[in-house]
Structure 1
Amino acid sequence: MRVVASSLAARDVEGARRGLVLSLTDDEGRVGLGEATPLPGFSPDTADEDERALTELPGGLGAIDLQVEDVTATASAIRRAIAPLSPRLRGLPAARFALETALLDLVGQRLGLPVSACLGGHRRDAEVQVNGLLTTSIALPEMLGRARALVARGVRAIKVKLRSRGAEGFARDLEALRALRREHPAIELRLDANAAWSLEEAPGRLALLAPLAPRFVEQPVAPELLHLLGARDVPWAADESLAVEGMPERLLEAEGCAAFILKPAMLGLLRAHELGGRAQERGLGAVVTHLFDGPVALAASCELALALPRPPLACGLDAHAGLSAWPEIPIPQLREGGSIAASRRPGLGIRPWTA
């Protein structure tokens, strides 16, 4: 298979954020889609950088050698085709995500298989739960109301972002979490500190959170320090640390690490799939999550969750308010009631695309 044409459509999403949709056409006229929508202040790349790279790159792609009898070799074939472009993609994970997604979409259409199958882990009847998302930056009555709405939808895991800062802020967050736990004693509770705690204060805060029985706390300390935290009263999970060179290998061996949080928009689709498989091999959990991006990226992230060797934990793949800034395109992997499932369509299953 060879890519013979490409195009790029840009879209203003919200504020200073822009999304890019890459379209690749193969030598039989099929069109594969990918998306790069970096999040300002969080992503290492910008939409301008991704746009320049994605405009220049497709002409340098090599041919993709498809072996229909061995679909597990598809990811390796795509890596070989992209290899000449790797220097230009360094530091641009959203651009890499878009390019890899568009190629997998093409391959899936060509083989008549969903992207998850092309990654080698597709389970036809698989279903993955999604987790709900709350934040302590809103008033407690509103937070509890949103939690009730999530539970009524069938969501069984809720992640709470701890937005307050300082000792007083943590005390307020702790009281809010206690109220949430009293009202929903059976819900799976996850917390996200967004790397805001120091290595010295994290053990004490984790001990205070232990009576609430959270499954884990995501990224309690700075990305480059997480492997030093060790086993604590509450397990912890790696998020931003996975983008630090050499850190995933350290975390796979670290005591206390319970899960890898996989954001393909921050890692690339193939790298996220690789890290998820390695985490599961070591007995760690895996969670796939979007970056509040558009429908193409969300569909690709859903396919990643369905492609992991074993079912992941409930994933951060619920529909979000930011999708309203994009064309209203059905995302075939999303299901009512808080889950995603195989679409049974080739590639991403998104057709057509209107910029």
Structure 2
Amino acid sequence: MIRSIDTLLVPIPTIREHKLACTVMREQVLVLVHIQTEDGFAGWGEATTIGGLSYAEESPHSIKTNIDTYFTPLLLKEQPSSTAKAMQLLSLHITGNRFAKCAIETALLDIEGQRLGIPVSELLGGRVRDAIEVAWTLASGDTATDIAEAKEMVAQKRHRIFKLKIGSNPILDDVAHVLAIKKAVPECRISVDVNQAWTELEAMQGISLLEAGGVDLIEQPISMRNRAGLKRLKDRFDVAIMADEIVQDPQNAFHLASEHCADVFAVKINQAGGLKAACLIGQMAHLAGIELYGGTMLEGPIGTAASVHVFATYPSLNFDTEMFGPLLLTEDILVRPLDYNNFGLTVPTGAGLGIEVDTDKVYYYAKRSNITLPTMSQPNAKSGKFATES
């Protein structure tokens, strides 16, 4: 039985400004869910989004409010006997709230994996890869800074795939910025993320120039509402066109796949509504002949670990991932950081998510966010993590 569910807002500064077409980030507010059971297990989930309400319809504060007000009372009252029944219960009574549902499902799967002694990836069908390659986003906004950063990443064997955030400047300025970086690191794969900033006509101009300059991937160049336009761009250009914001829950992804609106799907566990939903989207894309890319909402290490458990199960992942969120933060909330090495990230092998959260640090940062929290009590006997008064 579920003993308690705590939802924590944990703000952590970023190592530098992270500029997108829709916002500029200087800190990331992690939304963490901590579920404890009567038999002594503790699971963690994450529902992090980008830039408050500038990117998605759920914000850190709305996620916490909805989980505390609607999700928690329902789960504590009904006490579903499995993760699947819990998610069915939430779907029956709560509309939308994909990010919040993802966090709850992640924490429950973490507990389920711990109880069975197996990694979450095995609960999702089984991993076919033990490590994933990770792209790095160059988002300082300055060409010389981005080139220096890219070269340093390659030299350190941290990243050799780079994504550039564009769309907030005139098209020719953005293209010049991207192509200068491509020229400086010609051996590296370069993609751009427009974050829906262009009109369809602007996209035709921008993509034509980027394709001629050797850019490898164009992510969500136009509005997510213009599905037909995205397909027209995919059919017009040889460079791969990737759908991102437009890829949401499995039903939405099914229509995109059936109409083959993009060459590549960026799959994000929060945007999909959970780990199992993200697996389903990956399966549909694979069956439709659409390539896959492991996307991020710039989650911290909990959401990142959950994501790589999903991506490790994909039959193909030819466009790799961008699971660099923890590397963008100035603080780590795990006892042992995730294992980034040789241009990639090792998929955790321990039971559940395979990570150990530094509970003291999480609650310390959460208290600094001025959110009222439960009172801390003694460490849980089985998990070694702190329990809370419910």
Query: Which of the five TM-score ranges fits, normalised by the shorter chain?
Result: 0.7 to 0.9
1:345 Cα deviation from its structure 2 partner: 0.3
Q: Distance in 1 between matches of 2:190 and 2:326?
A: 20
TM-score for the superposition, normalised by structure 2: 0.78
1:59 Cα deviation from its structure 2 partner: 1.3
Aligned to 2:384: none
Aligned to 1:195: 196
Q: 2:114 aligns with which of 104, 109, 118?
A: 109
- Cα–Cα, structure 1 residues 153 and 192, in superposed 2: closer, same or farther, change >3 Å? same
Three-state SS of the structure 2 residue aligned to 1:327 is coil
Q: Distance in 2 between matches of 1:87 and 1:52?
A: 19
Which stretch shows the higher mean deviation, 108-117 or 153-162? 153-162
Aligned to 2:55: 42
Corresponding pairs, count:
336
Q: 2:310 aligns with which of 299, 304, 307?
A: 304
Paired residues of 2:334 and 2:358 also in contact (CA < 8 A): no
1:268 Cα deviation from its structure 2 partner: 2.0
Q: Distance in 2 between matches of 1:132 and 1:342?
A: 18
Aligned to 2:80: 63
Paired residues of 1:207 and 1:232 also in contact (CA < 8 A): no
1:116 Cα deviation from its structure 2 partner: 1.1
List alignment gaps of at least 5 residues for structure 2: 14-25, 364-390
Residue 3 (1) aligns with residue 6 (2): no
Paired residues of 2:301 and 2:326 also in contact (CA < 8 A): no
Paired residues of 1:306 and 1:341 also in contact (CA < 8 A): no
List alignment gaps of at least 5 residues for structure 1: 66-77
Three-state SS of the structure 2 residue aligned to 1:260 is strand
Q: Distance in 1 between matches of 2:59 and 2:167?
A: 24
Residue 339 (1) aligns with residue 344 (2): yes
Paired residues of 1:10 and 1:19 also in contact (CA < 8 A): yes
Q: Which amino acid aligns with 1:131?
A: A
Q: Distance in 1 between matches of 2:62 and 2:319?
A: 33
Residues 88-99 of structure 1 mapped to structure 2, 5 A cutoff: 89-99=94-104
Paired residues of 1:53 and 1:89 also in contact (CA < 8 A): no
Paired residues of 1:19 and 1:294 also in contact (CA < 8 A): yes
Aligned to 2:17: none
Three-state SS of the structure 2 residue aligned to 1:151 is helix
Which stretch shows the higher mean deviation, 51-60 or 229-238? 51-60
Three-state SS of the structure 1 residue aligned to 2:168 is coil
Q: Distance in 2 between matches of 1:284 and 1:23?
A: 35
Paired residues of 2:298 and 2:324 also in contact (CA < 8 A): no
Aligned to 1:318: 324
Paired residues of 2:193 and 2:218 also in contact (CA < 8 A): yes
- Cα–Cα, structure 1 residues 323 and 181, in superposed 2: closer, same or farther, change >3 Å? closer
Three-state SS of the structure 2 residue aligned to 1:97 is helix
Residues 1-355 of structure 1 mapped to structure 2, 5 A cutoff: 2-13=1-12, 18-39=29-50, 40=52, 41-55=54-68, 56-57=70-71, 58-60=75-77, 62-64=79-81, 78-86=83-91, 89-123=94-128, 126-135=130-139, 138-154=141-157, 155-165=159-169, 169-229=170-230, 230=232, 231-233=235-237, 234-243=239-248, 247-255=252-260, 257-269=262-274, 270-311=276-317, 313-320=319-326, 322-325=328-331, 327-332=333-338, 334-354=339-359, 355=363
- Cα–Cα, structure 1 residues 340 and 110, in superposed 2: closer, same or farther, change >3 Å? same
1:142 Cα deviation from its structure 2 partner: 0.8
Paired residues of 1:219 and 1:226 also in contact (CA < 8 A): no
Identity of aligned residues (%): 24
RMSD, aligned CA: 2.5
- Cα–Cα, structure 1 residues 321 and 157, in superposed 2: closer, same or farther, change >3 Å? closer
